[in-house]
Structure formats: C-alpha cells, structure tokens
Structure 1
Amino acid sequence: MSSAEKSPDQPQVDVPSDTMVGFIGAGKMAHAMAKGFILSGAVKASNIIASCPHPNESSVKDLGVSVIPDNKEVVRRSSVVVIAVKPNIVPIILKELSSIITQKNMLISIAAGIPLKTIENYLPSGSRVLRVAVNTAASVQAGVTVVAKGTATLDTDSRLVVNLMKSVGICEEGPEKYLDAVGAVSGCGVAYAFMAIEAMADGGVKMGLSRDLAIRFAAQALMGAGKMVLETGKHPGQLKDEVCSPGGTTIAAVHKLEKAGFRGALIDAVEAATLRSHELAKQ
C-alpha cells in the first residue's frame, strides 16, 4: 500500500473546483462523506447532489446539498458518482444506471463485500470503477479510506479519489483483497470504539463521575491514544507498557481486561466482520 496520510501540516489537497459529486443513496455514509467534503473545502455543497426516494426525509439536504428522487439525473449531472446504498441494492442500481453510464462518469462503490468484477459486469465495457472502504469518521475529517482500482480505471482517476478522500482523513491506495479486512478494522472499528467509550463511561459513573464528564473523558482518552500511536510511531504495546507503572492502577486494570479476554474479543470481532463481508460477496 502506498501511504497517502493526511498530516496537520499537509496543504489542502488538490481537487478540481468543477468536480461534481453525486451520491446514489442519501443515508448515513453519504451524509458523512458529503459533510467531510464540504467542511474540508474539497467540494462545495452546490457541487454535490444525492438521490433518495424520499428527499425530504434525508439529512443530507441539511448540508445544503441538492437531494432528488431520480438516480439517473444524479449520474447525468455528476463526474464522480458514489454508489452509497446497501450491498443487496447495488445490483438493482447498476442495472438501472448501466444504460446511461458514459466515459465522463467515474463510479465509486462504498458497498461492503461487492467485488469490482461484479460491479464491472453490470456496466458497459471500459467503465471507470473504483471500490472504496471508508468509515463514518469522514464526517469529522478523521476518516480512514482505502481505494482499489478497477480494470479500466485511469491513474488520474485514482489520484483524484485519493486526493478527495485525503480531505476527510487518511487515505491509501491498495489492492482490492485488503478491503474486507480494512472495513472490519476501521469501518466497523468506530462501533467498537463507541462501545468502549460507553463502557468506560459506565465505569466512571459507577465510581461517582457524572455521565457527561465520564463520556467526555472516555472519548478524549481514546482520541488521545490514537493520536499518540499515529504521531509517535511507537508500537501500541510499547505505549501501553509506558502507562503501566509497577504495582500501579493501570496494570491492575490491564490484568482485569486480559482475564476478560479483551484483546481476543476484538480479534474475533475483526474476523467476524471480515467473514461477513465475504458472505455478502457470495450472496
């Protein structure tokens, strides 16, 4: 994988100002990506359009994005088309759009478990297709993205998508075989982190902290830990050891987590999510 990490000192990525981004689907992931693009300045709200059967029910419109019910009109008006629907809906959408996809359209699928080959088989020969694994933290410009190219994708296409996704977090280009595991680690990983924050906050409340303070402190602890891993370059095990003073409170807590199978449970979670993604591909 070639690194394309965004650092605090990195200048604003170069995305052409006339780039028109269209989302097929206006749910949570479309909202997260659109919000991130707008906040970063990579794409203006006026250059984003999304489709939804019930436009007035979509929160994407609250970002200043145009939301319409017509999928084909989104494709006609967009140079970059993001397929942001549930995996089981993707074949239906591709069948609907296959007759109007042209070389001016670049398609990005964020659907878990749907291989590039499957997507390309529904579309005209030579269609420019990429698969992207991204998480909802893109909405706060702290996302994790991996981009995989299709058979007819141009180098300029992948550079544009990497630049676009760098505006909402860190992004790397890599082979498609990584995407299921990437989704299990970082895509699903935000849910694991939310559960950890909630559980830590419950512990704080049990020991006398107010709910608001406990949640804030737990969230900041996880954010700070992640930042230390990324910025110091140290192995997380080393950083953990540096917190564990001999006979101290942290090593006592770590002992409890080890006895409860904390690390094994997280490994099992990543494995389960990856295998589920494989199942979706077969279906």
Structure 2
Amino acid sequence: MSGEAVPHQVKPIAEKIGFIGGGNMAKAICEGIVNKGLVKYSQINVSGPNMENLVTWKEKGAHVSIENGVTVEHSDVIFLSMKPHILPCAIANMYDTLKSPSPKPKLFVSVLAGVTMEQLENVLCQLEPRIIRVMPNTPMMVGEGCTVFSPGPKATEHDIQIVKSILSVSGVCKQVPESLINAVGALSGSGPAFVYLMIEALADGGVKMGIPRAMALEFASQTVLGAAKMVKDTGRHPAVLRDEVCSPGGTTIAGIHAMEKGGVRAALMDAIEAATKRSEELGAKKHG
C-alpha cells in the first residue's frame, strides 16, 4: 500500500453564495471553495459597481450584476467583500435595488477590516441580518489560508457551521472573540504581504551573490515554505529550530547577527502593530 495520505472528502453544500464586491479577497475565497468542490460557480452571485470588473466571474459561470440587491435576493450567504470605505455606497445600492422591500433574513459574512459587528448591524438593520465577521487571507486561493471568524448574537449554529465549511476547506479556521479580529487580521490577513517582501529580499540577496534571478526566487520561496512547514508540523518553537541551524562560528549565525543589527525582528513586530492600529482607525470611521 502507498504511504500517501487519503485526501479529505469535501461534502458539497446547496447554499447559494453571494459576494458584494468581486475583488481579490472575494476571488480567493471563491476559488478556494470551488477548487475543493464545496460549491460550483453556478451557485455564485457577484455584484459590483463596474460590469467590466465582473467579466472574469461571468466567464467562469458565476451570476453577475451591478445591483447589490440582486445578489442579496438570490443568495443564502452574502459576503461583504468590498473595501471598508465603500460600505455606505454598497449598502445604499443594495437597498435601492432590492426588488422585495423585506426579503427573508439573510446571513451576512463581513471581511471588512475594522468594521465592527455593531456598525454592520446598524447599516443592515432593515434586513434583520444574521452577521458573522471573518478575517481570511489570500492564500486561501491555494488551499493554505489562515482565517478567523466571530459570530454575531443572532447567528445560528447552522450559520456557524456553513461559514466554517466555507473557510476551513482552504486552510486553518478558528473562532475568536471579536476583540481579536483586528490583531489576527494584521497577523494573518496582512502577514502574507510581509512574507512576500521577505521572499523578495532573500531572492535579491541571492542575486547579489551571483545566483540567477529565477533560481534565487525559486529557492527563496521554497526555503520559506519549508521553514514554515517545519514549525507547523513539528510543533517546536522557532527559536529551537533556528538554533539547530546555527553552528558555532558558522555562516548562519553570521547572517542572524546581520539581521538583528538590521532590526528585522523589531520591524516585523512593528508591522503587525501598525496594521492592527490601522484596522482600528478604519473601524473608528462612520460607516452609515
């Protein structure tokens, strides 16, 4: 018998999924659940202000519209996936284009950084919404996402299970108090961008030392992937794994010294703090 692991079987869901806002995050979530077989594109409804930006969705088989009300009416679960500052305009469009003035209560899933449950309940109050806040990240697209969610007081156990099904097929998914959403968003939501910068810098260092660009980028990305898998799979502290690579008087400790002198550790900590504070600033603004 082969020693390979048996792939986890995903049970498809019947619910129709809507996205108000068809940008990168919506695409990451959707591609993750479609690629895993949870839904088909025929179950997807997407709306946005510009039909040109929805062409790729339509080509894949999703139903598209410039009327947010249409997405709400034809979906069981609606992701609010626009930029936070667009929320008031998006909600106004939704109310203006609802064919039924009082559709049955829906489940709204917000990926909006900084926008609180209370703010969401206020702008959606006419629909008696059930709300769950989530903070996903774009690696969901390749099945390696890291997502947290926080259910609102009206969310049912079924709502929670549906959202967990959608988010967990594409990586790690954990429930957290709403008070942690902003910080986790900074770590896992913004974090990939910080890692991409590190990969680019590692590759640039290789190029500086004479490695061809394509090879340097391949090796840098694989090195980061391998290091992350070592931490995740072994459960050992990163400092312990680092020390195992640092031979006395060797090359690695010389490189670690250079990184410490350059303030890499502090810069990454500052990046998480800055992203968290920015999320809080976005939430402090009025959203209708």
TM-score, structure 2 length as denominator?
Answer: 0.90
SS at match of 1:264: helix
Counterpart residue number, 2:106: 105
Instruction: Name the % identity.
Output: 41
SS at match of 1:108: strand
SS at match of 1:117: helix
Q: Alpha-carbon deviation of 1:91? A: 2.6
Q: Alpha-carbon deviation of 1:14? A: 4.0
Q: Distance in 1 between matches of 2:189 and 2:6?
A: 25
Unaligned runs of 5+ in 1: 1-7
TM-score, structure 1 length as denominator?
Answer: 0.92
Are 2:244 and 1:248 aligned? Answer: no
Counterpart residue number, 1:33: 29
**1:65-119, CA deviations, whole angstroms, 9 ceiling, x for partnerless residues?**
2322121111111001000101011133234435756445210010100001100
Are 2:50 and 1:54 aligned? Answer: yes
Counterpart residue number, 1:171: 173
Of 53, 64, 69, the match for 1:67: 64
* Cα distance change on mapping 1:77 and 1:280 into 2, 3 Å: same
Counterpart residue number, 1:5: none
Equivalent pair of 2:149/2:174 in contact (CA under 8 Å): yes
Counterpart residue number, 1:3: none
**1:23-43, CA deviations, whole angstroms, 9 ceiling, x for partnerless residues?**
001111111111111111111
Q: Could you tell me which amino acid in structure 1 is paired with residue 49 of structure 2? A: P
How many residues matched? 275
Are 2:15 and 1:19 aligned? Answer: yes
Q: Which has the larger radius of gyration?
A: 2
Equivalent pair of 2:42/2:62 in contact (CA under 8 Å): yes
Q: Distance in 2 between matches of 1:217 and 1:157?
A: 42
Counterpart residue number, 2:85: 88
Q: Distance in 1 between matches of 2:154 and 2:222?
A: 43
Q: Could you tell me which amino acid in structure 1 is paired with residue 172 of structure 2? A: I
SS at match of 2:115: coil
Equivalent pair of 1:184/1:273 in contact (CA under 8 Å): yes
Of 41, 49, 57, the match for 1:45: 41
Unaligned runs of 5+ in 2: none
Are 2:231 and 1:229 aligned? Answer: yes
Q: Which moved more, 1:130-139 or 1:242-251?
A: 242-251
Of 273, 276, 280, the match for 1:274: 276
* Cα distance change on mapping 1:214 and 1:278 into 2, 3 Å: same
Equivalent pair of 1:202/1:214 in contact (CA under 8 Å): yes
